A = this chain, B = another copy of it.
Amino acid sequence: MAPMTTTTAGGAARDGSSAVDGPADSPFVRACRRQPVPYTPVWFMRQAGRSLPEYREVRAGVPMLESCRRPELVREITLQPVRRHDVDAAILYSDIVVPLAAAGVDLDIVPGTGPVVAEPVGTLDDVARIGPLDPADVSYVDEAVRLLVGELGATPLIGFAGAPFTLASYLVEGGPSRTHARTKALMYGAPEVWHALCARLAEITLTFLRVQVAAGVSAVQLFDSWAGALSEADYRRYAMPHSAAVLGGLADAGVPRIHFGVGTAELLPAMGEAGADVVGVDWRTPLDVASGRIGPHRAVQGNLDPCVLFAPWPVIEAEVRRVLAEGAATPGHVFNLGHGVLPETDPEVLTRVVELIHTASAR
């Protein structure tokens, strides 16, 4: 594939009026930095994934973890939504457990279930058996990022990692959990084990993201998908210090740091304070309300309900315009869904939503 032009890749030259220096000057990175943008940039969590027939085709017969370890496949899957939807950023195709597996944790991603951990973590001995992560263990990520950065031109690539609390929950529960009961039991009952585990996970995550930054990503997103299971007090005590270690460890990396969770109405200020330049917001909290809580020194990302994409177009259009208006009342807005694209989503609707956002928000 030839290098993408700035036009097809959604660079800042969309309005035809300015030269493009590269992804650092793209609308996406500028919005993350709360700088003026020619239009509101948009990308979608899980834009690379099962909603796309071309994704299902290239993934056929390739197990999930394996697919994250093949640089050529990662390149192709990461680029698919950029080609199709003209989104303003690509996000590295990976999975939050990739660095754990690379750090020696025996786990697999079971279709229909999610990550399954062979030996759940409960003691300091268990923690001692995890990692650290050697950058050489994820050389395939370094390679994939370099391939992508070369090809994406002015379109920024977002690095990807799970946050310590969410990773710890998988390791303690042995797999996905609705209640996080074992996780919280360890947290409350053996805080020394909990903090040792999360400190180790923070190291692994920081190494994983540093590999991506060194290879050229233009931003990073830390996914704390399950932080919303915690009260603010518990979040600040048990989760935030470890996310702060990751985000703080990237303070000198020169790329915006996005911090995302779901059901985080009460956690938004703390998730910002953890060291985010941009705080992800789900659809439960209007962006202007969220930004008021988070404060003027951080941008927001979100927050269309992914289920709205199943509505008739007039409903979608009204909701997109509402989110844009609420986003316009914040210091900086990256349009996204409030959570990932659902697999049953019609990709043509996503493309149309991108067009609408670009047109309706043009300054």
Q: In this complex, what residue of B is CB-closest to A262?
A: B263
Chain B's closest residue to A234 (CB) is B305
Known: A266-B284, A284-B231, A342-B179. A307 touches B184 (CB 8 A): yes
Number of interface residues of A (CB under 8 A): 31
A191 to chain B, nearest CB (A): 9
In the complex, which residues 12-39 of chain A have their Cβ closer than 8 Å to any Cβ of chain B? none
**Are B310 and A189 in contact, CB atoms less than 8 angstroms apart?**
yes
Is the CB of A180 closer than 8 A to any CB of chain B? yes
Instruction: Tell me if B181 and A342 are in contact (CB < 8 A).
Output: yes
A62: Cβ under 8 A from any B Cβ? no
The distance from the CB of A292 to the nearest CB of chain B, in whole angstroms, is 13
How far, in whole Å, are A343 and B266 apart by their CA atoms in the complex?
27
Contact A181-B231, Cβ < 8 Å, known A266-B285, A315-B189: no
The verdict on A310 contacting B263 (CB below 8 Å), with A179-B342, A284-B228, A342-B181 known, is no
A188 contact from B188, B285, B310, Cβ within 8 A: B310
User: How far, in angstroms, from A180 to B308 measured CA to CA in the complex?
Assistant: 11
Smallest CB separation, A232 vs chain B (Å):
8
Whole-angstrom CA separation of A5 from B18 in the bound complex: 83
Most buried by B among A185, A233, A315: A185
Are A311 and B189 touching (Cβ within 8 A)? Answer: yes
Could you tell me the distance between the alpha carbons of A233 and B189 in the complex, rounded to whole angstroms? 39
Cα A41 to Cα B345 with chains together (Å):
47
Q: Is the CB of A181 within 8 A of B283?
A: no
Residues of B within 8 A of A315 (CB): 188-189
Contact A263 B266 (CB under 8 A): no
Interface residues of A in 232-260 (CB under 8 A from B): 232-234
| Smallest CB separation, A187 vs chain B (Å) | 8
CB contact between A184 and one of B180, B182, B286, B310 (< 8 Å): that residue: B310
Q: Determine whether the beta carbon of A311 is less than 8 Å from that of B188.
A: yes
Instruction: Find A344's partner among B181, B189, B263 (CB 8 Å cutoff).
Output: B181
| Interface contacts beyond A231-B283, A263-B263, A265-B266: sample of 20 additional A-B pairs, CB < 8 Å, sorted by A | A179-B306, A179-B307, A181-B306, A181-B310, A182-B310, A184-B305, A184-B307, A184-B311, A185-B307, A188-B311, A188-B312, A189-B311, A189-B312, A189-B315, A228-B263, A230-B284, A232-B284, A265-B265, A265-B284, A266-B285
- Shortest 6 CB-CB contacts between residues of A and residues of B: A188-B311, A185-B310, A265-B265, A184-B307, A188-B315, A181-B307
Q: List 6 A-B contacts (CB under 8 A).
A: A179-B306, A179-B307, A181-B310, A184-B310, A189-B310, A231-B285
